[in-house]
Amino acid sequence: MFGIINVYKPRGMTSHDVVSVLRRITKIRQIGHTGTLDPFAEGVLPICIGKATRLIEYLADDKAYIGTIQLGKSTTTYDTEGDVINVSDKTVTLKEIEEALQHFIGDIEQYPPLYSAIKVNGKKLYEYARKGENVEIKPRKVNITCLKILNYDEKHRQAKIYIECSKGTYIRSIANDLGEILGTHGYLLNLIRSKAGIFVLENSINLNNIKTIADIQMHLINPIKCINLPCKEINETDLKRISNGNPLKLNIQDGEIILTNNNSLISIGTVSSGIFKCHKVFI
């Protein structure tokens, strides 16, 4: 089995849990996800099966999320799973929230939550947090291209937001930081990843609906459709040369390309001065 499946991860499961379920169904060990999604969150989680795991580095890693921020309180984890540590009676208007969100647009430096899997000196941050140990947390550069309010319930002080961002962006940190900017505290009530590269919510299959190999095969995507590189169809003779590790002459523009045969991914490599240099072979 070789391909990518766009799985909808239910809340309460880890990304590794999803991989384990698919391994149990397929009996295939070579399965991997394209980016961790916290147990607290749900939504799009592309899974690579078989040799497709070698393509993860070629998949677009921009993300989009829909989340609800609760203002007026903050927690140790920046979401509902932590203990409440700050409370404020201050109310804010929709206009104030919209203005505050502008602080997050573009390239920013973001401090990740203390309760996260980022490693410092070989240990995950949440390991320090659970032991009550102090550790220096350094900001990380992330990029946010779109951040807007979808709905604001002023009575309950809940703001539903949509965000498009780079890999590694913590929406929990945005919730916490937004509350601090507004002077009223904040944490994340819920979070749905609606997009991961080309994979979107509307085309995902809920993990709970995957019971058999047939369910997976029905939704398996040809990797050729998932990689933004030009394709070159090769004949059987060229296919044999690639299989034997021989160089291949191609009369095409220099650059990185995908070689295919009968709509199957054969190789990814680089053309330079008409010679194809293979980086990865999938036959």
Six token digits for residue 90: 């201050």
Q: Do the beta carbons of residue 8 and residue 44 sit within 8 Å?
A: yes
pLDDT band at 169 (very low <50, low <70, confident <90, very high): very high
| pLDDT given at position 127 | 75
- Tell me the pLDDT tens digit for each residue of 115-131: 676 777 677 777 776 76
Six token digits for residue 42: 């749900």
Query: Of 17, 38, 61, 107, which is the active-site residue?
Result: 38
Domains within the chain, CATH numbers bracketed = 3-61+198-225 (3.30.2350.10), 64-189 (3.30.2350.10), 229-281 (2.30.130.10)
pLDDT at 33 over 90: yes
- Tell me the pLDDT tens digit for each residue of 232-279: 999 999 999 888 888 899 888 899 999 999 989 999 999 999 999 989
Provide the b/e sequence for 191-216 (b: ≥16 CB within 10 Å): bbbbbbbbbebeebeebeebeeeeeb
- Tell me the pLDDT tens digit for each residue of 35-53: 888 888 999 999 999 999 9
CA–CA separation, 247 vs 244, rounded Å? Answer: 9
* Residue 109 burial (10 A CB sphere; 0-12, 13-18, 19+): exposed
277's CB contacts (< 8 A; 6+ apart) are 247, 269, 270, 271
Mean pLDDT of the chain: 92
Strand partners, 84: 75
| pLDDT given at position 246 | 83
265's CB contacts (< 8 A; 6+ apart) are 2, 222, 223, 224, 258, 259, 282
pLDDT at 173 over 90: yes
70's CB contacts (< 8 A; 6+ apart) are 157, 158, 175, 186, 187, 188, 189
> Can 38 be counted among the known catalytic residues?
yes
| Highest mean pLDDT out of 102-116, 213-227, 234-248 | 213-227
pLDDT band at 139 (very low <50, low <70, confident <90, very high): confident
